[in-house]
Structure 1
């Protein structure tokens, strides 16, 4: 099967590329802005017609779109997460043999939901902030395109290669500095929110499963379990060997479990909230029945392993 992969330079895209290149049944071509790509093309700036010509040359049976932006100005997010998706959809429609499309969406598209219940794909999206809105616009473009398409609405991704600006990327770096400089604490943001953490390698497996399936529409990709961000942070601290306190800036939220409070102290690391732009969503847990039934997929990697691999990368960084 011929596959065209978009966005292989990103966090998820790199792992998807690794997974696809190991599959002897797939012939993978990479399109992107970086020199390492087989085809150099900027989705946010290029025209659908130009992209359609590349599609005709490669003749992929499946296009996998991992391209997008998680951080940046509203303009940057709209260009990367909405305009670029419109370009991809239009290019596929114009190509001689329209390919199947597998697009990476985000759980941020859902926005606030009732605390304590899994989120099914039928939930009405109500995103908060430019990131969630721009991702939802991309999803809606795919669903309205008339293409043979699936949108994988990915929940909170963790594991090796995590971005430096993410919660665990910055926490791991803060812990490393604290150990090196013999500091006795690390200050955290409010970590009372619950999140559904899924390993990036499991996400890559889900993408591969979607590529070779006939499933269409929105499909949640998550672990199916909600974990308080504080508990996940404590796991990373234990893996690191840091024995000082994590001082959390607690803000009141409606949660089933009272957030632990610590005494404020001097900051060792200014860490970001569990999601870009401080998304004020107290609860997120995927209903993953659709992924199991239609893709034969479920998450396998324990959260402890995902966080341990983040720490291993950080501790070995020169």
Structure 2
């Protein structure tokens, strides 16, 4: 089988490409510049194009057996300054990919949405039956909601054979971005993360498990269905305490989410005058001010057979890689003790 992959050079996309090749498939990988795809395996057919330019994808997508649409603008923090760009890539880019898929009669597609379409702190639990209102917490989440519910869903209703998957917070080796999640872990490793909020309760997933979820959605997912492919939620305090047990780097101090909410309000006022330092934008601070995605993952578990490695195993794999990138020395070979919420 031959698959067309957008977002092929990103964290999830590059792992999807690698898994497709490992299972005997051919891959056509879309990239805006061939130089961005230098880390992809040689067996990949790399084509230059852009999801915001529909015709740039037509020839490469013609005749493929399936489409994985992962390309997106993702960053928490500078969203308000990048709203037009986010709209162009996340919403109009998705429209272009899915319209072309329909025009070319591609048999099946997988579109990568996000748990971020569910507003933070709005639900006792979250499953695929919930139709959330548009979140206003971040430009990324708003534009992904628009792509999910105003582009993908209506096209599914019109007969497009598309499966939607929803990961949560994804980390893992090979991340070349400077985005919020990698930035958080790198700041922690370098001792530059002063505090972490209690009560930030979301799924934290190793990229290998999320890539596997994408392939399972393509192979076993029912067209028209949505699957939450994340694992069980964990408190951010537990995640950083687990990281401390692995690396020996002290976890930051745990504080009330009200502290982050207060900083977010202050920075919101500051942003009207100046651009704040990276990592201190009000949008990113709001995300950590007690955000909760209490997901029910039973549908993907039962219908797709998705499993997730333990947090300790996934973090060890990622943090060993990240410490090498930072040229840090550390012993991560010891036993990891189970951590409890404090």
The TM-score with structure 2 as length reference comes to 0.75
Q: How big is the alpha-carbon RMSD for the aligned residues of Structure 1 and Structure 2?
A: 2.6
| 1:68 aligned to which of 72, 79, 100 | 72
| 1:139 aligned to which of 124, 128, 148 | 148
Q: Residues 41, 240 of structure 1: CA spacing in aligned structure 2 closer, same or farther, 3 A cutoff?
A: same
- 2:5 matched residue in structure 1: 5
1:50 to partner: Cα distance: 4.2
| Alpha-carbon distance in 2 for matches of 1:3, 1:234 | 40
Contact 1:82 1:135 (8 Å CA) reproduced: yes
State the SS of the aligned residue for 2:314.
Answer: helix
- 2:31 matched residue in structure 1: 32
- 2:132 matched residue in structure 1: 125
Deviation above 6 Å: which 4+ runs of structure 1? none
1:270 to partner: Cα distance: 7.9
Q: Residues 70, 50 of structure 1: CA spacing in aligned structure 2 closer, same or farther, 3 A cutoff?
A: closer
- 2:333 matched residue in structure 1: none
Contact 1:175 1:240 (8 Å CA) reproduced: no
1:29 to partner: Cα distance: 1.3
Tell me, which stretches of 5 or more residues in structure 2 are unaligned? 38-44, 260-276, 328-342
Q: Residues 83, 54 of structure 1: CA spacing in aligned structure 2 closer, same or farther, 3 A cutoff?
A: same
Q: Deviations over 1:229-269 (max 9, x none)?
A: 111011112222124x623453339xxxxxxxxxxxxxxx9
| Alpha-carbon distance in 2 for matches of 1:50, 1:133 | 26
- 1:181 matched residue in structure 2: none
Task: State whether structure 2 residue 257 is matched by structure 1 residue 251.
Answer: yes
| 2:169 aligned to which of 156, 164, 171 | 156
1:277 to partner: Cα distance: 6.4
| Alpha-carbon distance in 1 for matches of 2:11, 2:324 | 19
Task: State whether structure 2 residue 112 is matched by structure 1 residue 104.
Answer: yes
| Alpha-carbon distance in 2 for matches of 1:50, 1:21 | 24
Q: Residues 214, 246 of structure 1: CA spacing in aligned structure 2 closer, same or farther, 3 A cutoff?
A: closer
- 2:339 matched residue in structure 1: none
Q: Residues 102, 276 of structure 1: CA spacing in aligned structure 2 closer, same or farther, 3 A cutoff?
A: farther
| Alpha-carbon distance in 2 for matches of 1:83, 1:199 | 29
Contact 1:189 1:272 (8 Å CA) reproduced: no
State the SS of the aligned residue for 1:54.
Answer: helix
TM alignment of 1:248-287, pairs within 5 A? 248-252=254-258, 276=284, 278-279=286-287, 282-287=291-296
| Alpha-carbon distance in 1 for matches of 2:27, 2:60 | 14
Contact 1:155 1:286 (8 Å CA) reproduced: no
Contact 2:196 2:237 (8 Å CA) reproduced: no
Task: State whether structure 2 residue 234 is matched by structure 1 residue 230.
Answer: no
TM alignment of 1:189-208, pairs within 5 A? 189-208=196-215
1:208 to partner: Cα distance: 0.6
| 2:310 aligned to which of 302, 306, 310 | 302
- 2:226 matched residue in structure 1: 218
- 1:170 matched residue in structure 2: 183
1:118 to partner: Cα distance: 3.2
Which has a greater percent of helix? 2
1:175 to partner: Cα distance: 4.2
1:114 to partner: Cα distance: 4.8
1:109 to partner: Cα distance: 0.2
Q: Residues 314, 199 of structure 1: CA spacing in aligned structure 2 closer, same or farther, 3 A cutoff?
A: closer
Report the number of matched residues: 285
